[in-house]
Amino acid sequence: MNHAKKLYIETFGCQMNVNDSETMFALLKDLEYEPTDSPSGADLIILNTCCIRAKAEQKVYSELGRLKGLKRGDRRVLLGVGGCIAQQEGEKLLKRVPYLDLVFGTHSLHLLPEMVRAAEQGERPSQTDFLDPETRLDLFPRKEAEGGVTRFVTVMQGCDNFCSYCIVPYVRGREVSRRSGDILREIREMTSTGVREVTLLGQNVNSYGLKSPDEPDFAGLLRMVAGVDGIERIRFTTSHPKDISPSLIACFAELDKLCGHIHLPAQSGSDRILARMNRGYSWREYLEKIAALKQARPGIQITGDMIVGFPGESEEDFLQTLSLMEEVGYADLFSFIFSARPETAAASLSDSLTRREKQERLDRLQRLQRGMTLERNRSLVGSIQQVLVEGTSRQGGQLFGRTGGNRVVNFPADPSLIGTMAAVRIVDAFPNSLLGEPQ
């Protein structure tokens, strides 16, 4: 009897990688690999890696060390590395990790089945070439329509911005936007399997279509997606503040389906540091865009990213960051200590702060944000929110879903509500979620 082979994928880093891992599962279905949730017992293990911070990179290497034991057993297990570290290291990885079977970069997903087949035959394939934009568009891997209520849809990949700290343009390549017709086709197919919310995904979605005269810009794309029957909610991530246009801001006033949430990373509140980061905006310009968004969609929830301890950051620069946070009133914030990445401009900047000083600043910033998040969540107590119910919550007997503003709500209700939009009264608020009761 022929048994399906087991595939375990461990995903590191961002949503783009989560999305790519889903694509890998779909691509390898044709080779009769089915998902498993543990590496022990898997026939093929793939680490889909991230190198945006040194810590993420170290995690991958320690995971590779841990998995070495599985390769020593009686059963034949294939081990592959994909994603950003694979792109960065290429064939060197096969030398550095002699028990590794395949390495594939960020532009090579479409080659994965062929590479796995070769690895099954005992070869050790490696592919990390960047594709030219046209070929990339033709080979843009798409996911199968396979259900769930919410799905991510890649609309563009890569980045041309070269923020001085960021490795993405080096490991994901230059910006390329998918054809709008392909995106709409994929979304329409998804609706036939019950998808009601899509999140349009890209490194910098605001620059969607700007290189293609025949394609709409991002605001135009949002309007097209809003016209798809069956789609009730649209989100997008990630946005660059310098590229958020008046027509995109107007979408928040005009498109009911567009959720009242935006992730708009400021990274710092100091103009001196923003210039060193090559971000292309001042704190004042950032706040003007936030004000315009709040005017277009009153109550919009704003989340962001902040880097602490960028080379040269003074106490005054840091205080400006805290003050920008208060001015914006972030619903949530991802914050990190600066991590020097190879090849990037910021890696060569001199850095006078100690690790301890950076950690102390990060603690202060996160303390401030925790207070603001809880306050924001508490302000929703008593309100009735439309919640798209995504599944059963870890708390027994409860369902969970998200508000338009992207806050997670748990509430007791019958599982038949999964996949529907439910009116839920918020009765309590916690740092990471809300508690509700169905109306």
CB of 207 to ligand SF4, least distance (A): 9
Give the closest residue to 197 by CA, choosing from 143, 159, 158, 233: 233
Q: In angstroms, what CA-CA distances link 412 with 379, 394, 396, 400?
A: 21, 12, 9, 9
User: Are 225 and 184 contacting, i.e. CB atoms less than 8 angstroms apart?
Assistant: yes
Q: Nearest approach, Cβ of 54 to ligand SF4 (angstroms)?
A: 16
Beta bridge partner(s), residue 285: none
Q: Which residues are CB-neighbours of 355 under 8 A, at least 6 positions away?
A: 337
Name every residue whose Cβ is closer than 8 Å to that of residue 294 and which is 6 or more positions away in sequence.
300
Residue 252: how many other CB atoms lie within 10 Å? 21
Closer CB to ligand SF4, residue 174 or residue 223? 174
- Minimum Å gap between C-beta 340 and ligand SF4 is 14
Q: Is 216 exposed, middle or buried (0-12, 13-18, 19+ CB in 10 A)?
A: middle
Q: Is 13 or 169 the residue whose CB approaches ligand SF4 more closely?
A: 169
CA 187-191-194 angle, to 5 degrees, is 140
Q: Looking at beta carbons only, is 163 or 362 nearer to ligand SF4?
A: 163
Query: Following DSSP, what letter does each residue of 294-336 receive, concatenated?
Result: HHHSTT-EEEEEEEES-TT--HHHHHHHHHHHHHHT-SEEEEE
Looking at the Cβ atoms of 337 and 421, the one nearer to ligand SF4 is: 337
In contact, 143 and 121? CB cutoff 8 Å: no
Which residues bind to ligand SF4, rule: CB under 6 A?
A: 159, 161-163, 166, 168-169, 203-204, 240
Shortest Å distance, C-beta 146 to ligand SF4: 28
Measured CA to CA, the distance from residue 157 to residue 179 in angstroms comes to: 12
Decide: 436 and 395 in contact? Cβ < 8 Å.
no
Query: With respect to ligand SF4, which residue has the nearer C-beta, 99 or 162?
Result: 162
How near is the Cβ of 250 to ligand SF4 at its closest, in Å? 23
Could you tell me if 268 and 325 are in contact, meaning their C-beta atoms sit under 8 angstroms apart?
Answer: no
Question: C-beta of 384: minimal distance to ligand SF4 in Å?
Answer: 36
Write the DSSP string, 109-146: GGGHHHHHHHHHTT---EE-PPPPHHHHHHT-------
Of 177 and 377, the one with the shorter C-beta distance to ligand SF4 is 177
In the bound complex, what is the minimum distance in angstroms from residue 432's beta carbon to ligand SF4? Answer: 25
Nearer to ligand SF4, 113 or 133 (CB): 133
Q: How far is the CB of 164 from ligand SF4 (least distance, A)?
A: 9
Q: Please identify, using beta-carbon distances, which residue of 150 and 154 lies nearer to ligand SF4.
A: 154
Cβ 158 to ligand SF4 shortest distance, Å: 8
C-beta separation of 346 from 311 below 8 A: yes
Specify the residue, 60 or 159, whose C-beta has the smaller distance to ligand SF4: 159
Residues 6+ apart with CB under 8 A from 280: 161, 240, 242
